[in-house]
Chains A and B, each alone.
Chain A
Amino acid sequence: MTTSSLILKEIIHRKGNFLLSLLAVVVAVALFISFFTASKASERETARLMLSMGYNLHILPNGTDTSEFLLTGLTDKTMPQQYLEKLVSPKGFSYNHLLAILQKKISWQGMDVILTGLAPEVSLPGQEKLPIVQTIQPGTAYLGYILAEKLGLKKDDTIEINGHTLKIAKCLFEQGSRDDIRIQCNLQDAQEILNLPGQISEIQAVDCLCFAPTNDPIAILRKEIASVLPDAQVFQIKPIATARAKQRQLVRNLFAVIMPAVLIACGVWIGVLAIMNVRDRQSEIGIMRALGYGSGKITALFLGKAVIIGLLGAIAGFLVGTALALHFGPDIFQITAKTVIRPESSLLIWSLIAAPVFAAVSSFIPAMIALTYDPAVTLRQE
């Protein structure tokens, strides 16, 4: 009799114990898969939502009057546009979504307005992202709400600034911010209007989601940026950055608390069932001892069964967990559901490795208990 045939025959004989043990693994794997899939989706959703809050990192020219910048959001200095290329580094820095901007306060149509020229957003190599802001085509402009209202301008009208004509591509909705008195155009147009060819006033970016609230992200970012732009000044808009980090940490903390609890509960569940199985099989173990079976073969009977339970549980748990995530995910992550809830196929491989190990570990103590049964006591009939 081979060990595998003994295991299979025992499984068929004690179906209830086997199915309950299998259920424990399925529950553990399914919850892990669904939580993991959901947490990944949550991270993507968070990232998407947080991006809508805008750029939170400002890289400013050397010598910028920081008080003025904090007061007006504008810099009195400029820097070469080529600085952007230095920041687009393959070194794996902790920021992305780089946006070169040239903006100045100008007088236009008897009003103080902000002229903002935007270059197309750039991603770091190998970390290509969808841009936060749309690229503004040369010769076009987006007009702030107050400007459009006061001047009665609408889409497809043309405006002239310092002798430069721009066609209004969009009149923006009211924002309740400086954007309402802003004219946004292509960077090159802004450079021509302001007569600052090849110059930018700042580079905006978004820091990565890798920072925990307990980190000091601005110190890390300043160090990274200083390595390529030693003279630049770096400001982080703390509330946005902190909100991003806290939201991400919230999901991780939830995962970190729930998953160990689920794993422990399921591990104990399997362990208790394995102990019941060992107790049911006391006389069987005793007679095998009497027949000369060694500890290795008896251990193999229990751990082999656990591995089979783990493998089957991994496959079933992956399918159930993925189905749960796909079914309930779209209700939870309504913004990004269509694109972000997807089966994490790599998890199947991890499940096939981890679940048998998990089941074997849970069955290890019962297997050791089986080995400690004294056949002389088990088989005693006095």
Chain B
Amino acid sequence: MVYLENVVKTYRTRKGNVKALDGINLQIKKGEFIVIRGPSGSGKTTLLMTIGGMLRPTSGTVSVEQENLYAMSIRQRANFRAQNIGFVFQMFYLVPYLSVTENVVLAAGAIDSKKRYTQADELIERFGLADRNFHKPSELSAGEQQRTAIARALLNRPRIILADEPTGNLDPDNAATVLKFIADFHRDGGTVILATHGLAAQQFADRIIHLRNGNIHY
């Protein structure tokens, strides 16, 4: 499903090169729930972005669904991402001038925006946002915003969800709700790779990976 071979990512900074990923080798099976733990700066987000086809590694190979991501053109990779990968971020990143429904449907824009409002409405209903679908992000609570972001991530029925601290800005109740939705996706056969500082997600994990200084420690 996801295959990383000797992946290195080096950032150039004024103080010199910094290795965010230092020869990562990782295999994730279809339907696995992986939790990546590690301190700030350990390379969690870099690893997720690299798996998500948004950050070309300095060296090494990243394959998802037997496709070598970085052998693709930018356009091919964008299409692949739209069809196969859903992102959930700590900061939600909802578009401020779009309503809940429009933010969810935004995910369809990259593929096919027709007939997607019905699917969006189903997700909104499922995530308890039916009475908020015309509201703008600024009119939503943090929990509602993150549920909207998860609905957006799920609209295209991705095979993988990459979640970067999805509960980092939420209170415990909302965090539990969000984790439940992600766990539901996993239970339905989806693959989840979730980066977090917290411990709450561990109960759903098939495997926990510790990342430190760009290296994996099992």
A and B associate in one complex: yes
Q: Does any Cβ of A come within 8 Å of B87's Cβ?
A: yes
Given contacts A376-B49, A379-B93, A382-B40, contact A292 B79 (CB under 8 A): yes
Q: How far is the CB of B60 from chain A (nearest CB, A)?
A: 16
Q: How far is the CB of B83 from chain A (nearest CB, A)?
A: 7
Given contacts A382-B41, A382-B45, contact A290 B81 (CB under 8 A): yes
Chain B contacts for A12, CB-based, 8 A: 97
Q: How far is the CB of A236 from chain B (nearest CB, A)?
A: 67
Tell me, in angstroms, the Cα distance from A374 to B50 when the chains sit together. Answer: 12
Is chain A's binding surface mostly helix, strand, loop or mixed? helix
Q: Which of A9, A375, A382 contacts B98 (CB 8 A)?
A: A9
Whether B105 and A376, one on each chain, are in contact in the complex, defined by CB atoms closer than 8 angstroms, is: no
Whether A290 and B54, one on each chain, are in contact in the complex, defined by CB atoms closer than 8 angstroms, is: yes
A-B contact count (CB 8 A): 96
Q: How far is the CB of B133 from chain A (nearest CB, A)?
A: 15
Q: How far is the CB of B148 from chain A (nearest CB, A)?
A: 12
Whether B105 and A1, one on each chain, are in contact in the complex, defined by CB atoms closer than 8 angstroms, is: yes
Given contacts A379-B89, A381-B45, A382-B41, contact A9 B97 (CB under 8 A): yes
Q: Does any Cβ of B come within 8 Å of A291's Cβ?
A: yes
Tell me, in angstroms, the Cα distance from A291 to B81 when the chains sit together. Answer: 7
Whether B113 and A2, one on each chain, are in contact in the complex, defined by CB atoms closer than 8 angstroms, is: yes
Which partner residue on chain B sits nearest A382 by CB separation? B45
Whether B54 and A13, one on each chain, are in contact in the complex, defined by CB atoms closer than 8 angstroms, is: no
Tell me, in angstroms, the Cα distance from A295 to B52 when the chains sit together. Answer: 17
Chain B contacts for A287, CB-based, 8 A: 87, 89, 93-95
The 8 closest A-B pairs by CB, nearest first: A292-B82, A13-B97, A292-B110, A376-B55, A376-B49, A287-B93, A292-B78, A382-B45
Q: Which residues of B contact A (CB under 8 A)?
A: 40-41, 44-46, 49, 52, 54-55, 74-75, 78-83, 87, 89-91, 93-98, 102, 105-111, 113, 152, 164-165, 168
Given A293-B110, A376-B45, 6 more pairs with CB closer than 8 A: A1-B98, A284-B93, A293-B109, A294-B78, A380-B45, A381-B165
